[in-house]
Amino acid sequence: MTTVVFVLLPGVHLLDLAGPAQAFFTAGDFGQPYDLRYVAATPAGDRPGPDAGVVASAQGLPLVAGTDWPTLGRDDLVVVPGWRVGSDPAAWPLVSEPVRERLREHHAAGGTTASVCAGADALGQAGLLDGRRCTTHHAVQDDLAARHPRAHVVRDVLFTTDDGVVTSAGIASGIDLSLHLLAMRHGPALAARVAREMVVYARRNGTEPQASAMLRHRSHVDDTVHRVQNHIDTHYARALPLADLATHAGVAERTLTRLFTRAAGVTPLRYQQLLRLERAEHLIGHGATVESAARTVGFQDPRMLRRLRSGDEPGSR
């Protein structure tokens, strides 16, 4: 079972923590359980006392967590939720060296390290933002850039991923980040089911292609279309004739096309193409050839993938 460790610092925002925790917890309802752990991180300079495991949240609710870290593998995740940011960045928590070392070790071992909102500063203190793209809440992007001049702060996007370091803009965008990680690990169908269960249909887009096709075209509440999208998400690499999709939905072909286009903004075929294209881009980015990526995602002819990548396919814009 994959472990997710949430590192809690004083002033932690409840939604920064609860949103991702709920997403990974809900994944367990659909056959992908996660072991959620919480670690109270004592700021540098503070001596651990009898209340070392009690973390005061920004909203006033005290959180009780252990101080010992579990043993982590490369498939596990470490997430640093953000904290309340005051007007003086110098007053932000100074992460202790043991915590910084844990973050560095996990990343060096091939694990994914993520942050929500101002939690990116903790990754920066560990040196994980140096030379990498990152983001944070729009109100503190300048502060993050000033505190970590070797980081490449990307502004006004929901989240970024760079070499195992994933950072998000803050508050509710931690849910977007978590759905993205679930989609990358288990496929878009699982992430879609989690999103629907959490009733977060409306997805916000940044200027980066980090918002997956599955998320971009799920901002509706049409159950018939969602059922068809679930089927396409699961079987996107197969041939899916419109007649078969209509039978799956229990409606006529023309009705399905009309409902799907109205709700999702694209036709069923176009939606399938977008899923294939997105998965192919991921494979190519990890060293696959265009030909092998095309075969893996279901294209019979790699020329179709090339046309979609270039935007020359009719209806691709």
pLDDT tens-digit profile of 158-195? 888 899 999 998 788 899 889 889 988 887 778 888 98
Q: Comparing 57-71, 224-238, 249-263, which segment has the lowest mean pLDDT?
A: 224-238
Q: According to the model, what pLDDT value does residue 25 have?
A: 98
- The yes-or-no verdict on residue 208 having pLDDT over 50 is no
Q: What is the pLDDT of residues 43-93, one digit of tens each?
A: 655 555 555 689 999 999 999 999 999 999 999 999 999 998 877 777 788
More confident: 47 or 21: 21
- Please provide the DSSP assignment of the chain as one string: -EEEEEEE-TTB-HHHHHHHHHHHHHHGGGT--EEEEEEE-PPTTPPP-TTTTEEEBTTS-EEE-BSSPPP--TT-EEEE--B---S-GGGS----HHHHHHHHHHHHTT-EEEEEGGGHHHHHHTTTTTTSEE---GGGHHHHHHH-TTSEEPPS-SEEEETTEEEE-STTHHHHHHHHHHHHHH-HHHHHHHHHHTT-------SSTTS-HHHHT--S--HHHHHHHHHHHHHTTS---HHHHHHHHTS-HHHHHHHHHHHHSS-HHHHHHHHHHHHHHHHHHTT--HHHHHHHHT-SSHHHHHHHHHT-STT--
- The yes-or-no verdict on residue 6 having pLDDT over 80 is yes
Phi-psi region of 102 (alpha: psi -120 to 50; beta: other; left: phi over 0): alpha
Q: What is the pLDDT of residues 138-160, one digit of tens each?
A: 889 999 999 999 999 998 778 88
Percent of the chain with pLDDT over 70: 89
- The yes-or-no verdict on residue 205 having pLDDT over 50 is no
More confident: 156 or 283: 283
Q: Comparing 98-102, 119-123, 184-188, which segment has the lowest mean pLDDT?
A: 184-188
Q: According to the model, what pLDDT value does residue 91 have?
A: 78
- The yes-or-no verdict on residue 316 having pLDDT over 80 is no
